[in-house]
């Protein structure tokens, strides 16, 4: 295909890719509609009715650009978190913020530390800026804090990514260990503490806001995509010092936020009762997934997130066969980790009972078919 | 303020800024609500009712990420434009696409050609990637095609920006001159042909799609923000060869589009009757603005856009005083070009009669007050 001849050498070296194949693309590829969308860690429980109302009421305002300062949302978040609006940067989901953070710090060839099998979209952004990924294997299905710290020091890395709770394994570290990690890092290393799943974590998993908010080398990322049920609205935020937060203003797409999404996020934040209710439903759904896994001879891993990693006890080919069987024969969309040894697991997002019923019925059929085949 | 110490040298050299101060920020600064929002070239006519309906009906789907391939919208646009989906890249408004294009092409120090006083957000992205702006003055309030071409050749510039119709002046070149320009450029220069205002342009302003679609060094950018009335939905698109379009897939935020915005854009595209109607209303509003300008002794410039640049016949300080007087005393939000000699003008967006009535009543008062002050 004929492309412009003078893209930068870095761009020319990059593949055209997508960090995750979307469920719609899978539907098109397989020629089959998805019956249970429990693969992208979205929330099938959806947002609160008050959020849907806010969306419908804001529709008539969508001819206006959103406020490029995101003033109201930053005020609301600051009130909710007990911090200042100056500590908060808003972006098009955590994915968008991760791209910006990598751009702020990484020049071609610089080392970036993350876990082997950690969030692919972060790795995508690192590659996109020419960074050199330095990966540290998980230990016992958790990110290896000591290993990450050693890699940072060995490489003099300017950037390290750490998710707590973790995706794709659902594991977590207690707040005191996370705090130790953050404070042990050199001041010349920026920590991305990705807390996309913070709302579903057990008590004492999240360091307090104040414990890290004065550290210019720590950015915590959070989102309305998971427990708040607003993945399609694209609203995430970064928590850090005012000085570090201001760096986003140097490069972000100031008019990049959509006005309805901002209104939806504001309404979601205002309805903490619904959040509590949905976190309970997510917890029950995790239990249900775990039960289904055990009934099929699998080992569900403990989870602090809105999904469960299920150890199928064999190799990646087996996991892949289950993922494909569920989709191709039953329209059940799930995913799996991308690298060994994590990819002995499949990853199932929590969701309403209807989706869980489909999974419960389909999984034994898929496994039976696989056993018969081989 | 305390910021992370190891941002890249480029980032450290950049100011924290915003290309445009948003109307909401102006409201907060002045402590006055906007009564007529006719400054950001949004469409106060709003989107079609069918679009509002689509938004409300899609609200319940916003727990799902949007399709990262934007398949349906690309199909719909391809059908509308008579091209292939592979010719189309979708982004978070033209602003988002401009940032991506600059990143694809520009390394620090490289020359980028644009008009002096052209679109500030493009300049912002060029600065953000360390590019060196080479500016060519407008001639007779139009972008200077010959001058841009000469600058490209003199500098061996890899990137040139050209808007047709133009913002902030509302002027335009006929299609044949644009086509001459595009085909005269070296193949090693990427042309951004920004057609944000294409829907409101007179006949024979836009080169046909097929006339440029096979050129890997031409990207045309278009948006649902202007005539379609969806600025807050953040949906823009780029038209180019499949090879050049694919470059966006190397760096974009694949899950950056909001699901409701995509649905809104699809519905807007499907309602061409409404577009025709709104283009007529925009045209009438341009006439009304021109009449108001003349009644106050000013010279309205011809416009192919959804705004009118009004030559106030004096200097930038006078224009600024009018802009400030309209906002501070009457809550009428307009803008003005940023550099001489364009900033002898004020820039007024088209809008419904209610807004025009406010403008008509307020402008003589502001001018009278300025005359009295001396």
Q: What is the pLDDT of residues A111-132, one digit of tens each?
A: 999 999 999 999 999 999 999 9
Q: Considering only the beta carbons, identify the residue of A95, A187, A257 that sits closest to B253.
A: A95
- Alpha-carbon distance of A153 to A226, in angstroms, equals 33
Mean pLDDT of chain A, nearest integer = 97
- Work out the average pLDDT over A22-32: 96
Kindly calculate the radius of gyration of chain B based on its CA atoms and give it in whole angstroms: 21
- The first and second tokens of residue B273, run together, are 């009757």
Cβ of B66 and A8 within 8 Å? no
Cβ of B2 and A216 within 8 Å? yes
- Alpha-carbon distance of A204 to B31, in angstroms, equals 43
What count of Cα atoms within 13 Å lies in the side-chain half-sphere of residue A125? 25
Specify the pLDDT at position B20.
85
Four-point Cα dihedral A259, A263, A269, A275, nearest 10: -100
CA distance A39 to chain B (A): 11
Contacts from B29-32 at CB under 8 Å and sequence distance 24+? Answer: B30/B327, B30/B328, B32/B327, B32/B328, B32/B331
Q: Considering only the beta carbons, identify the residue of B6, B14, B42 that sits closest to A105.
A: B6
Q: What is the pLDDT of residues A250-283, one digit of tens each?
A: 999 999 999 999 999 999 999 999 999 999 999 9
Q: What is the pLDDT of residues B22-65, one digit of tens each?
A: 999 999 999 999 999 999 999 999 999 999 999 999 999 999 99
Set of chain B residues whose Cβ sits within 8 Å of the Cβ of A15: 250
In chain B, what percentage of residues exceed pLDDT 70?
A: 100
Closest Cα to residue A71, out of A268, A270, A257? A257
Cβ of B246 and A11 within 8 Å? no
Instruction: Give 3-state DSSP helix, strand, coil % of chain A, rounded to 5.
Output: 45, 15, 40
- Alpha-carbon distance of B319 to B311, in angstroms, equals 9
For residue A59, give the chain B residue with the closest CA.
Answer: B52
Peptide bond into A165 cis (omega under 30): yes
The confidence band for A198, taking pLDDT boundaries of 50, 70 and 90, is very high
Q: Where are the domains of chain A?
A: 20-46+273-373, 49-270
**Is B177 an 8 Å CB contact of chain A?**
no
Specify the pLDDT at position B164.
98
Residue A17 has pLDDT above 90, yes or no: no
Set of chain B residues whose Cβ sits within 8 Å of the Cβ of A3: 216, 241, 243-244, 246-247
**Helix, strand, or coil here: B246?**
helix
Closest Cα to residue B287, out of B227, B331, B343, B353? B353
Residue with tokens 């009449």: B291
Set of chain A residues whose Cβ sits within 8 Å of the Cβ of B57: none
Q: What is the pLDDT of residues B102-126, one digit of tens each?
A: 999 999 999 999 999 999 999 999 9
Set of chain A residues whose Cβ sits within 8 Å of the Cβ of B247: 3-4, 7, 11, 16
Q: Where are the alpha helices (DSSP H) in chain A?
A: 9-13, 23-30, 49-58, 71-81, 93-105, 120-128, 145-155, 175-184, 209-212, 242-247, 259-270, 272-295, 316-330, 353-373
Region B49-270: CATH code = 3.40.640.10
Residue with tokens 């809008």: B351
- Work out the average pLDDT over A199-218: 98
Q: How far is CA B317 from CA B29, B120, B344, in A?
A: 20, 20, 8
Instruction: Give me the residues of B, 192-221, that contact A with CB < 8 A.
Output: 214, 216-217
Closest Cα to residue A242, out of B8, B2, B18? B2
Cβ of A1 and B243 within 8 Å? yes
**Is A365 an 8 Å CB contact of chain B?**
no
Helix axes B259-270, B272-295, angle to 10 degrees: 90
Instruction: Give me the residues of A, 234-273, that contact B with CB < 8 A.
Output: 234, 241-244, 246-247, 249-251, 253-261, 264
Residue A327 has pLDDT above 80, yes or no: yes
Q: What is the pLDDT of residues A43-91, one digit of tens each?
A: 999 999 999 999 999 999 999 999 999 999 999 999 999 999 999 999 9
Residue A93 has pLDDT above 90, yes or no: yes
Specify the pLDDT at position A191.
98
For residue B218, give the chain A residue with the closest CA.
Answer: A4
Instruction: Give me the residues of A, 134-153, that contact B with CB < 8 A.
Output: none
Within 8 A by CB and 6+ apart from B57, the residues are B263
ipTM at complex level: 0.97
Q: What is the pLDDT of residues B196-215, one digit of tens each?
A: 999 999 999 999 999 999 99
Cβ of A253 and B67 within 8 Å? no
The confidence band for B276, taking pLDDT boundaries of 50, 70 and 90, is very high
CA distance B152 to chain A (A): 14
Size of interface A-B (CB pairs under 8 A): 291
Residue B18 has pLDDT above 90, yes or no: no
**Is A99 an 8 Å CB contact of chain B?**
yes
Residue with tokens 């007990």: A82
Question: What is the CATH T-level fold of the domain A20-46+273-373, as seen in this structure?
Answer: 3.90.1150
Specify the pLDDT at position B112.
98
Spatial strand order of the sheet with B88-91 comes to: B88-91, B236-239, B218-223, B190-194, B159-163, B111-115, B132-136
Residue B194 has pLDDT above 80, yes or no: yes
Kindly calculate the radius of gyration of chain A based on its CA atoms and give it in whole angstroms: 21
Cβ of A188 and B244 within 8 Å? no
Within 8 A by CB and 6+ apart from B363, the residues are B292, B296, B322, B326
The confidence band for A18, taking pLDDT boundaries of 50, 70 and 90, is confident
The confidence band for A374, taking pLDDT boundaries of 50, 70 and 90, is confident
Residue A1 has pLDDT above 80, yes or no: no
DSSP state of B333: E
Specify the pLDDT at position A214.
98
Burial class of residue A29 in the structure, from the number of CB atoms within 10 Å of its CB (0-12 exposed, 13-18 middle, 19+ buried): exposed
Cβ of B246 and A1 within 8 Å? yes
- Alpha-carbon distance of A1 to A14, in angstroms, equals 15
Specify the pLDDT at position A210.
97
What b-and-e string marks burial along B215-225, b requiring 16 or more CB atoms within 10 Å of the CB? bbbbbbbbbbb
Cβ of A253 and B43 within 8 Å? no
CA distance A225 to chain B (A): 7
Parallel, antiparallel, or unpaired for β B307-311 and B345-349? antiparallel
């Amino acid at each position: 295909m004929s492309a412009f001849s003078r893209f930068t050498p870095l761009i020319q070296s990059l593949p055209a890719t997508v960090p995750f194949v979307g469920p719609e693309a899978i539907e098109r590829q397989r020629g089959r509609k998805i019956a249970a969308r429990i693969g992208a860690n979205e929330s099938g429980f959806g947002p609160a009715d008050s959020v849907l109302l806010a969306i419908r009421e804001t529709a008539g305002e969508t001819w206006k650009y959103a406020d490029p300062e995101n003033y109201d949302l930053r005020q609301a978040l600051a009130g909710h978190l007990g911090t200042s609006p100056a500590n908060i940067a808003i972006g098009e989901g955590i994915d968008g913020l991760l791209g910006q953070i990598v751009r702020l710090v990484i020049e071609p060839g610089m080392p970036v530390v993350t876990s082997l099998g950690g969030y692919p979209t972060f790795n995508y952004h690192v590659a996109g800026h020419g960074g050199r990924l330095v990966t540290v294997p998980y230990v016992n299905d958790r990110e290896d804090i000591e290993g990450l710290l050693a890699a940072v020091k060995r490489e003099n890395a300017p950037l390290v990514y750490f998710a707590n709770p973790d995706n794709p394994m659902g594991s977590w570290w207690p707040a005191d260990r996370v705090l130790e990690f953050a404070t042990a890092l050199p001041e010349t290393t920026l920590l991305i503490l990705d807390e996309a799943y913070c709302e579903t974590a057990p008590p004492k998993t999240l360091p307090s806001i104040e414990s890290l908010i004065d550290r210019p080398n720590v950015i915590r990322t959070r989102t309305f995509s998971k427990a708040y049920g607003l993945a399609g609205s694209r609203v995430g935020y970064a928590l850090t010092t005012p000085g570090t937060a201001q760096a986003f203003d140097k490069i972000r797409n100031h008019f990049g936020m959509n006005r309805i999404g901002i209104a939806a996020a504001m309404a979601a934040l205002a309805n903490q009762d619904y959040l509590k209710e949905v976190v309970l439903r997510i917890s029950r759904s995790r239990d249900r997934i775990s039960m289904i896994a055990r009934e099929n001879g699998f080992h569900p891993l403990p989870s602090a997130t809105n999904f469960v990693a299920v150890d199928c006890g064999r190799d990646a080919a087996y996991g892949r066969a289950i993922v494909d069987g569920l989709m191709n024969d039953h329209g059940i969309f799930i995913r799996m980790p991308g690298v060994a040894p994590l990819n002995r697991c499949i990853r199932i997002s929590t969701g309403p009972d209807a989706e869980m019923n489909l999974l419960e019925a389909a999984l034994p059929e898929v496994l039976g078919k696989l056993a018969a085949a081989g």
